[in-house]
Homo-oligomer: A and B are copies of this chain.
């Protein structure tokens, strides 16, 4: 099975980042991985959650969600159901953890930055696009915070990007789209810093367990893909 869009196994989809897509947010980015489009908005607020008050440290958190018609079949809104599903919870937590890994909370002071990642259109890789785009929004929000509060030290300690990799008919592939994702034997999401170190590695056997060799080849692919994404982020932030 060749790749549906003709890519080589280690090739990303076209990635576009439109910085400051929103007017009100302190930082924002519309990120596209091919047909996947995620709108990332960063909000800076004074204060931190109750359990953190008085520590002098800030907090970064994220909320991921999907518009009902982001996908091929319309999904019921979670607000209508009255509860948030497990997948949404899981991804929101992953995005939050990934961004917190490059933050010095002490340098932030008691402020909270919330990253809203709303999937406008889904074609695979929405959580990794969300992390990659949210980082761009975070950078602008941190700048805003530093300027506004006159912070001495930079709360940002590095950059972060993420990509999905998977095995299709025994072949490791980078940045699966929905079609590939739904037939992959193994599926892995990898979050990597700009320095090439791991923040999160989540590999799941979908139809068959995987061995160490396959795991290693997937990690290689992901690290290379994240290095490319890091460059794309840098360009977007340089404008």
Q: Report the bound CA distance from A219 to B198 in whole Å.
A: 14
Near B by CB (< 8 A), chain A positions 193-214 give 193, 195, 197-205, 209-212
Instruction: Find chain B residues with CB under 8 A from A219 CB.
Output: 212, 215
Indicate whether A72 reaches chain B with its CB closer than 8 angstroms.
Answer: yes
A80 at the interface (CB under 8 A from B): yes
Q: Which residues of chain B are near A193, meaning CB under 8 Å?
A: 209
Is the C-beta of A140 less than 8 angstroms from some C-beta in chain B? no
Whether, in the assembled complex, A24 has its beta carbon less than 8 Å from a beta carbon of chain B, the answer is yes
A19 CB to closest chain B CB (Å) equals 15
Query: Nearest chain B CB to A129's CB is how many angstroms away?
Result: 15
In the A-B complex, the 3 residue pairs with the smallest Cβ-Cβ separation, listed nearest first, are: A197-B209, A86-B89, A78-B79
Interface residues of A (CB under 8 A from B): 22-25, 28, 35, 39, 41, 43, 45, 63, 65, 67-72, 74, 77-90, 92-93, 97, 101, 114, 116, 118, 120-121, 123, 158, 188, 193, 195, 197-205, 209-212, 215, 219
